[in-house]
Structure 1
Amino acid sequence: MSEFREFLNEQLKDPELKAEYDALEPEFAIIRAMIDARERQGITQKELAARTGIAQADISKLENGNANPSIKTLKRLASGLGCRLKIEFATL
């Protein structure tokens, strides 16, 4: 296990911190899905920007968790990645 993962697991023993971390899971999932799709395509942020008309700086902000994308932006990203956008509600 990586040092970071060990550190994170130790920190998540704190119930308050774990609750906050868990609350961010949807954002983390979107970021992971976007990066994974881009890397599967083998393209850079700059190439994705050219495909979508979204500035590379904005794609960087999205991938770093420093911006909240709209549904319209997610659709543009999905299209540029040759993917279909799927949003769902899962039972707890």
Structure 2
Amino acid sequence: MSWSDDLDLDSETIWEDGVFIRIESVDTSLALASSLARAREYAMLTQKQLSEKTGIYQSDISKLERGNANPSILTLKRLADAMDMTLKIEFVPKK
């Protein structure tokens, strides 16, 4: 398979099982999970290393990254601080 500009999607477009959907329809917990996993990888930390820095069990970090947990704001802040990042939560109007 070769890659071309024709295969690129804009940042607000995703496909699911061959059906076009808008990113706004993605479950919030899954978006948070994906964001956490990307942030951890950007910080070049394993789940175990992040666990050691935060005192949060590695299994709980795994659950967060799979979207199987409902973290508190304080937990998210601890994770952000350990990755030397700022936590940003915002409300945006529905379209």
Which residues in structure 2 correspond to 1:3-14 (within 5 Å)?
5=15, 7=17, 9=19
Root mean square deviation of aligned Cα = 2.2
Look up the match of 2:11.
none
Look up the match of 2:67.
65
Q: Which structure carries more helix by proportion?
A: 1
Please say if 1:76 is aligned against 2:91. Answer: no
Q: What 5-or-longer segments of structure 1 have no aligned partner?
A: 13-17
2:86 partner amino acid = R
Please say if 1:34 is aligned against 2:44. Answer: no
Give the TM-score of the pair, scaled to structure 1. 0.75
Work out the CA distance in 1 between the residues paired with 2:57 and 2:39.
18
Count of matched residue pairs: 80
Give the TM-score of the pair, scaled to structure 2. 0.72
